[in-house]
Structure 1
Amino acid sequence: MQVVFKIVRQNQNSLPRVESYPLDVESSATILDCLNQIKWQQDGTLAFRKNCRNTICGSCSMRINGRSALACKENVGSEIARFSASSAAAPNQIPEITIAPMGNMPVIKDLVVDMQGFWANLKAVDPYVSTAARQVPEREFLQTPAERSQLDQTGNCIMCGACYSECNAREVNPEFVGPHALAKAYRMVADSRDDRTAARLEKYNQGTEGVWGCTRCYFCNSVCPMEVAPMDQIGKIKNEILARKDGQTGRSIRHRKVLIDLVKQGGWIDERQFGLQVVGNNLKDLKGLMSLVPLGLRMLSHGKLPAKFEPSEGAKQVRSLIESVQAFQTESKRL
């Protein structure tokens, strides 16, 4: 079949350009097969990373038709079908596949990006098991099969960078360590051999560089080729933090706890109470309270500040659902 590959190319510190390469390939050919064919037969200057060709090393991650994926995993036929379903291409038009470098990382050349920041952020979460405080001579730190199974999902991460490339939080907040780092961080939190769980949770709870910097866009989950589900792991760290902290610890934790409490009470959020309890810390944070005054005045002037709160009709059902989920989570931890 005839396919045109449109590849975004650029040199370091230069503007990108798009170059087109027509190919005659089988629909079963992987994107990496096609890039190899272009490099070997049409343009030897094309630069991209590759290694195992078997979805193991993560080297060939790049943006394929707008989403980060492994070039060795995606094939021409499925990619054309996926893209055609969401576009208005003419029936007889030669299909096109656009290849671009990953996002959130500076380009070195063509599809090769500088991953130093990616690795530095991974290092920042200390992704190594610590047993320094529990040294027992001539004895291993054994785990039960159940304890080991807690590490399976995060252990599948191949550090391809796809989640980091698509992370909205990382794009707007350079302090956020990224979903890859926090997925690895949860592996340490869940590891029964580690003796630094409390210290780790304190670290991951700080500001917006840790778990509270996540915007919950789910892009990291949608592009992960190994089904690590980084955002789910971030949520698990948040739950661990919330289980150990009370509402006075910080605004991020109050935000989560107050939101759940208010929805349980009324079925939806009483915004008046939400601001006072989260930002004003139940009238204990004067600076926070003062920051609410301009917003409150604007709401009053536009008739947007309700005099009373009306619970939703399904408040009892909502409360029952939340309590059921909380009971399930408590029981799961026991098991």
Structure 2
Amino acid sequence: MHVTFNILRQTRDNAPRSQTYQLDVDPSETILTCLDRIKWEQDGSLGYRKNCRNTICGSCSMRINGRSTLACKENVGAEIARLRQIHGLSDEEIPAMTIAPMGNMPVIKDLVVDMRKFWDNLDAVDPYVSTQARQIPEREFSQSPQEREKLSHSGNCILCGACYSECNAVEVNPNFVGPHALAKAQRMVDDNRDDRTETRINQYEQGTDGVWGCTRCYYCNSVCPMEVAPLDRIGEVKQAILSRRDTSASRAVRHRKTLVELVRDGGWVDERKFGVQVVGNYFRDLRGILSLAPLGLRMLVCGKFPLSFEKSEGTQEVRSLIDSVRELEAQNR
């Protein structure tokens, strides 16, 4: 099979450029194997990272045909099939492979990126079990299978950077720690061996740099090669925060709790109340109320301000579902 590889090449001081290589490959060959062949047979100056070649170390993460993944995990045949489906190509057409460096990180050379910010953000959540209260344990810190199961997903993370590369929140807010760090934060919150749970929760909920900075775009889940599902782990940290806070704690907490309560009451969100209760803190935040005035006036002028509220037909069913979930959560706690 004759395949074209368009590789985005770049150095720190130069603009990126696309360089094309041609290879006769077997469909079972991985993208990493193809990069090795290009480097060994055609261009020894091509730069990229690799190590284990077996989806363990996470070194060879890069953007392959528009998505961040591991070059040692993806093979040519599967990528061609995926591109044919996306672009509606026939079985005879062989699309080109486009290889680029990961996003949200500066490029050092070609497919090699500077991951210092990535590692700094991980370090910021202090992802190490603290047992200062039990410095000299009488026995090992054993866990039940149920306690260990809570850590399984985040424990699978190989820190490849794929989720960070695709994160919209990092793109718009460089201070957001990233899904990889918050997935590790979930482990710290749920690890019963750790003695800093409350301190960690206070840290992880700070502004838009912590869990509330997540835009819930789902990209991290879709590209994670190890099925860590970082978005789900962030949701678990949020739930730990919400279970400990009332609506006066912060606007982020109020937003979540108010949304659920309004849906429970009416089957969907009463827009007349939502802004006042969340931004205005139930009329306790005068500055917040005044900030809503321009938007409210524009809505009135455009005829888009709802003067009344009609509950949905399934309100009782929605209320029953929410109450059932709350009962289950209370039992688990």
Normalised by the length of structure 1, the TM-score is 0.97
Partner letter of residue 295 of structure 1? L
1:232 and 2:232 equivalent? yes
Q: 2:277 corresponds to which residue?
A: 277
Distance in 2 separating the partners of 1:29 and 1:137: 50
Structure-to-structure mapping, 1:141-180, within 5 angstroms: 141-180=141-180
SS at match of 2:232: helix
Would you say the 8 A contact 2:151–2:187 is kept in 1?
A: yes
SS at match of 1:244: coil
Deviation at 1:88, TM superposition (A): 4.0
Q: 1:14 corresponds to which residue?
A: 14
Between the two proteins, the alignment pairs up a number of residues equal to 333
Q: 1:222 corresponds to which residue?
A: 222
Distance in 1 separating the partners of 2:77 and 2:83: 10
Distance in 2 separating the partners of 1:85 and 1:94: 12
Partner letter of residue 155 of structure 2? G
Deviation at 1:297, TM superposition (A): 1.4
Normalised by the length of structure 2, the TM-score is 0.97
Would you say the 8 A contact 1:2–1:95 is kept in 2?
A: no
Runs of 5+ consecutive residues of structure 1 not aligned to the other structure: none
Partner letter of residue 277 of structure 2? Q
Deviation at 1:304, TM superposition (A): 1.8
Partner letter of residue 114 of structure 1? D
SS at match of 2:68: strand
Q: CA deviation digits over 1:164-186, x for unaligned, max 9?
A: 00001111111100000000000
Bigger CA drift: 299-308 or 3-12?
299-308
Deviation at 1:146, TM superposition (A): 1.9
Bigger CA drift: 273-282 or 320-329?
320-329
Q: CA deviation digits over 1:209-232, x for unaligned, max 9?
A: 000000001100000000000000
**Pair 1:323–1:15, CA change in 2 (3 A):** same
Distance in 2 separating the partners of 1:218 and 1:94: 29
Would you say the 8 A contact 2:3–2:23 is kept in 1?
A: yes
Partner letter of residue 19 of structure 2? E
Distance in 1 separating the partners of 2:152 and 2:295: 47
Partner letter of residue 325 of structure 1? V
Distance in 2 separating the partners of 1:216 and 1:278: 19
CA RMSD of aligned residues (A): 1.2
Bigger CA drift: 314-323 or 96-105?
314-323
Would you say the 8 A contact 2:60–2:72 is kept in 1?
A: yes
Partner letter of residue 265 of structure 1? D
Q: CA deviation digits over 1:297-318, x for unaligned, max 9?
A: 1112222222221111111121
Structure-to-structure mapping, 1:202-217, within 5 angstroms: 202-217=202-217
Would you say the 8 A contact 2:271–2:306 is kept in 1?
A: no
SS at match of 1:294: helix
Structure-to-structure mapping, 1:44-123, within 5 angstroms: 44-89=44-89, 92-123=92-123
Runs of 5+ consecutive residues of structure 2 not aligned to the other structure: none
SS at match of 2:87: coil
